[in-house]
Amino acid sequence: MKRRKPDVTTQISVQEAGRRGGQSTLRNRGTEFFREIGRRGGRRTAELYRGLLSEFGKRGGRPRRPVLSEYVGEETSKR
């Protein structure tokens, strides 16, 4: 299979380059490869952030945005 030389005047977006790379990896390695790296990533995230993930679970599964009364810093003065 003969490859074409890339045209240096044609530019593609980062998004398009990533999409093409992902498709190429899928063709070369298959879906099982993506499953395995997903499992590895999930395990590693759980190792690194075990306490944080547990806290999110107690709050209903999603991080909760702090309310204004919880912010530490300048106090507002009443006029």
Domain residue ranges in the chain? 22-61
- Give the tokens for residue 55: 């806290």
Residue 27: the pLDDT is 96
Tell me the pLDDT of the chain (79 aa) as tens digits: 677 766 666 899 999 999 999 999 999 999 999 999 999 998 998 898 888 877 777 777 666 676 666 665 555 555 4
| CA-closest candidate to residue 15, choices 26, 23, 7 | 23
User: Model pTM?
Assistant: 0.50
- Give the tokens for residue 54: 């547990």
| CA-closest candidate to residue 25, choices 14, 33, 17 | 33
Residue holding tokens 């190429």? 24
Query: How many H-runs (helices) and E-runs (strands) does the chain carry?
Result: 3, 0
Residue 53: the pLDDT is 78
